[in-house]
Amino acid sequence: MGNEISCGAKLMAPIGRREALCAALGAAGILAGRPRAAFAEARVMPPLPQDEAFMRLALEEAAKGDFPFGAVIVRGGEVVARGCNLGKTNSDPTAHGEMVAIRDFVAKQPASEVSGATLYTSGEPCPMCMSAIIWCGVGRVVFAASIEALARKIGQIMLTSRRVADAAPFARIAITGGVLASEALALFDT
Ligand SMILES: [Zn+2]
């Protein structure tokens, strides 16, 4: 269990268990014609000046993972949680970097405090992680490599974070992609 400390693997707080994914409903065609209020509040946002520095911390986490995925959660300009992929270490296929970071966060402070925080992740969140991010009320997600790019390296469920967010009418989350993407992808070649 040696490398667990740096990745927060000791933190086994249960995650939300309620709702199954409904992301498939996010296809624009399905929702076309619905009232405006039925659409999600997800919006694509350009990078901010601080994004690269925080993404580098997420990439540092990724370099520690069983697979090269890592995440940090930032609130008030400070890193308050971090995680890397521990799928093999924990024998837990759900231990993606984002999930481990969320568990790290809720183990240390009330989950409500994640509201409005920013989650930086080396890879675009998969549908499972993006759903968890939405359930937690994260205000903004910033990713490096897109699912489309990651799929050329490792198997992916081909459903973008935007589509998951668009399928959640209550979600108010900003999404920024492509920050240090080439560096995130290069971790698969080391
Ligand atoms: Zn994931």
Q: Check: CB of residue 55 under 8 Å from CB of residue 62.
A: no
How much distance in Å is there from the Cα of 33 to the middle of ligand 1?
A: 31
How much distance in Å is there from the Cα of 124 to the middle of ligand 1?
A: 8
Strands (E) in the chain, as ranges, are 43-44, 70-75, 78-84, 118-123, 140-145, 174-176
Please give the positions annotated as active site: 98
pLDDT in tens, 21-36: 333 333 333 334 444 4
pLDDT in tens, 63-109: 999 999 999 999 999 999 999 999 999 999 999 999 999 999 999 99
Q: Residue 149 above 90 pLDDT?
A: yes
Closest CA to 50 of 26, 76, 71: 76
Q: Are strands 140-145 and 118-123 parallel, antiparallel or unpaired?
A: parallel
The rounded distance, in Å, linking the Cα atoms of 130 and 160 is 9
pLDDT in tens, 127-143: 999 999 999 999 999 99
The rounded distance, in Å, linking the Cα atoms of 4 and 108 is 16
- What is the per-residue pLDDT for 190? 82
Closest CA to 137 of 93, 85, 102, 94: 102
How much distance in Å is there from the Cα of 51 to the middle of ligand 1?
A: 20
How much distance in Å is there from the Cα of 123 to the middle of ligand 1?
A: 8
Mean pLDDT of the chain: 84
Phi-psi category of residue 121: left, alpha or beta, with phi > 0 → left and psi -120 to 50 → alpha: beta
Q: Residue 11 above 90 pLDDT?
A: no
Two tokens, residue 6: 């740096």
Position 171 confidence tier, pLDDT thresholds 50, 70, 90: confident
Position 43 confidence tier, pLDDT thresholds 50, 70, 90: confident
